[in-house]
Chains A and B, each alone.
With several copies, the nearest count.
Chain A
Amino acid sequence: MKKIEAIIRKSKFEDVKEALYDQGIEWFSYWDITGLGKSTEEQIVRGQVFQSSYIHRRMLSIVVRDINLEKTINAILDSAWTGETGDGKIFVYDIEDTFRIRNRESGPDALFNKE
């Protein structure tokens, strides 16, 4: 099992969400983060242009079985893309184990619904 952490633009969230559904991803979690780095976002306050290096981003955490890894990554790469600096990153980790709290299933089985 792998965990995919994708950092994407908030504005692409709905696109990514749909792309993931299309690939059959049943579940994911997300939260909002701030990205801090070299690129900046422009904001205008009282006529002054403000270049903020704090950038709002959304973090998606998706745990998938190994067989689904590639298609999930491709789905994100396609749907989150705009081509401009700041499109975000995808990180892949290995996961040792997974449990479904509801029925104590563990391992890859915990990741999809058989019903």
Chain B
Amino acid sequence: MKKNILSIMALLALSVSALSAQTAAPVAPTVDAGDTAWMIVATAFVLLMSIPGLALFYGGLVRRKNVLNVFMQVFILVAVISVEWVIIGYSNAFGSNSIEALKPYIGGFDWAFLNNIGINDLSPYFISHSQVGLDGAAVGTIPHIIFIMFQCMFAVITPALIIGAFAERINFKGFLIFSVLWSLFIYNPVAHWVWAGDGWLFKLGALDFAGGTVVHINAGVAAIVTAIMLGKRRDYKGHAIPAHNITYVVIGAGLLWVGWFGFNAGSGLAADGLAANALMVTHIAAAAAALTWALLDWIIDKRPTIVGISTGAVGGLVAITPAAGFVGIPGALAIGVLVSLVCFCMVAYVKPKLGYDDSLDAFGVHGVGGILGALLTGVLASPLIQSSYSGAIYGNFHQLWIQFLAVGVTIVFSGVGTFILFKLVDKLVGLRASDKHEAIGLDETQHGETAYNNFD
């Protein structure tokens, strides 16, 4: 969705800044300080989503004896995936492959260790703002480096989302190896397919503004696969186990909401009307979904719950993610209401029937919400937002078909890939924590620490 889309540029002429318009002459392309300012902050916001956002959201939902383990999982992923990203991940995901046949499927190693990327290079990726570089190729208005770091935060949070599926019963060493492999062999390729200039799903025209398929479906499917393969928690009886600290859940949901503005409105890679619109639909979809879940709780179970409304908000944020650059207010409201209806049914009715133990509903919220969002993007995409994209309700049924394809392919790839990696790591070091460790709690057994201490 990002590279060399000169046709869009023309259509978006109005929104292209006067500055870049002037630089169409053979002057050196320049960094736009405003776009860069926003992207720096957006990057920080997406980090805030992981730590402390997601750590709090997930950590609050588990039992007291496992909260540090969840915090640690998120924290170490921030560390390890960031290092992986600059060493090889970015190159694999967004780079170009020297082997022609592989180009659509995976990037190469040219950018390993961010080799050949200078501090003054401009981003080769852009959406609405671009300018002509000295070599004649179009470039964006932000430094290449900030694009790399923005994407780094996406690479970090995606495996972190899976944590929700296997929380409270996984061996830490196994978890770590699995997550790194998963990033290398599942995340990086899928990101390449959907977002890289020569990715095959990108070329096909699959729409994923900020990561519906790459992030949420991808992680959500991995979640359900690991949840099933790892087996249930020893005392799981088909229903959620109450959160040890619901205030943490809400604080986490709040920080996720705020950080998601960086995630979605940052994905336009500029500070412009498209970013403003992305922020708006993100906010409104989250609000509508939160409200819908609260009402479902209220109607069905007599009282609106705060875990419910938080879950609804996150569901809304998930579902609007692929659509954030393509829909307006009506789309946002529709997506928000629908995602809560579907996820509520999933979590409250389907899951207990199927009996798998997705501890914190990583699949139920991220997987299901992501799938719904990706499909609805194909339905609701409005030419009023980006004139070259439209969905089924505007007669473009082809887009919906492409979305189905992208969703299907991601589900299969992530599902099968996760299965293989899981088997492998399970053989290698074992993934399931011992029954005794699970009973005592993972904080004590994996890290030798207790979250809350009362002496003195």
B residues near A46, Cβ cutoff 8 Å:
240, 307-308, 311, 344, 347-348, 361, 364
Contact B242 A52 (CB under 8 A): yes
A interface bracket (residues with beta carbon within 8 Å of B)? 20 to 34
B interface bracket (residues with beta carbon within 8 Å of A)? 20 to 34
Q: Which residues of B contact A (CB under 8 A)?
A: 235, 239-243, 296-297, 300-301, 303, 305, 307-308, 311, 344, 347-349, 351-352, 361, 364, 436, 439-441, 444, 448-450, 454-456
A15 closest partner in B (C-beta): B439
B residues near A51, Cβ cutoff 8 Å:
239
* Residue A106, interface by CB 8 Å: no
Given A11-B444, A54-B455, are A47 and B439 neighbors across the interface (CB < 8 Å)? no
A residues near B305, Cβ cutoff 8 Å:
44-45
Q: In the complex, how many angstroms separate the beta carbon of A83 from the nearest chain B beta carbon?
A: 14
* Residue A34, interface by CB 8 Å: yes
Q: How far is the CA of A48 from the CA of B305 in the complex (A)?
A: 12
Which 6 pairs of residues, A with B, have the shortest CB-CB distance?
A47-B348, A45-B240, A11-B440, A54-B455, A48-B239, A50-B239
Q: In the complex, how many angstroms separate the beta carbon of A59 from the nearest chain B beta carbon?
A: 13
Q: Contact check: which of B347, B440, B449 meets A48 at CB < 8 Å?
A: B347
Contact B297 A47 (CB under 8 A): yes
Q: How far is the CA of A43 from the CA of B439 in the complex (A)?
A: 19
Contact A44 B440 (CB under 8 A): no
Given A44-B303, A47-B344, A56-B450, 6 further pairs, Cβ under 8 A = A11-B441, A45-B240, A46-B311, A46-B347, A49-B239, A52-B455
B residues near A56, Cβ cutoff 8 Å:
450
A residues near B351, Cβ cutoff 8 Å:
48
Given A10-B440, A11-B439, A11-B444, are A47 and B242 neighbors across the interface (CB < 8 Å)? no
B residues near A54, Cβ cutoff 8 Å:
455
Contact A47 B241 (CB under 8 A): no
Q: In the complex, how many angstroms separate the beta carbon of B175 from the nearest chain A beta carbon?
A: 20
Q: How far is the CA of A10 from the CA of B64 in the complex (A)?
A: 12
Q: In the complex, how many angstroms separate the beta carbon of B214 from the nearest chain A beta carbon?
A: 26
Q: Which residues of A contact B (CB under 8 A)?
A: 10-11, 13-15, 32, 34, 42-52, 54, 56
Contact B454 A34 (CB under 8 A): yes
Contact B361 A47 (CB under 8 A): no
Contact A48 B348 (CB under 8 A): yes
A residues near B308, Cβ cutoff 8 Å:
46-47
Contact A50 B455 (CB under 8 A): no
Q: In the complex, how many angstroms separate the beta carbon of A92 from the nearest chain B beta carbon?
A: 26
B344 closest partner in A (C-beta): A47
B residues near A10, Cβ cutoff 8 Å:
440
Contact A47 B300 (CB under 8 A): yes
B residues near A11, Cβ cutoff 8 Å:
436, 439-441, 444
Contact B241 A50 (CB under 8 A): yes
Q: How far is the CA of A43 from the CA of B242 in the complex (A)?
A: 8
A residues near B455, Cβ cutoff 8 Å:
34, 52, 54
Q: In the complex, how many angstroms separate the beta carbon of A106 from the nearest chain B beta carbon?
A: 28
Q: How far is the CA of A32 from the CA of B454 in the complex (A)?
A: 9
Given A34-B454, A56-B450, are A45 and B440 neighbors across the interface (CB < 8 Å)? no
Q: List 26 A-B contacts (CB under 8 A).
A: A10-B440, A11-B436, A11-B439, A11-B440, A14-B439, A32-B454, A34-B455, A43-B449, A44-B297, A44-B303, A44-B305, A45-B243, A46-B348, A46-B364, A47-B296, A47-B308, A47-B344, A48-B239, A48-B347, A48-B352, A49-B239, A49-B301, A50-B239, A50-B241, A52-B242, A54-B455
Contact A48 B240 (CB under 8 A): yes
Q: In the complex, how many angstroms separate the beta carbon of B236 from the nearest chain A beta carbon?
A: 11
Given A11-B439, A52-B242, A52-B455, are A47 and B347 neighbors across the interface (CB < 8 Å)? yes
B454 closest partner in A (C-beta): A34
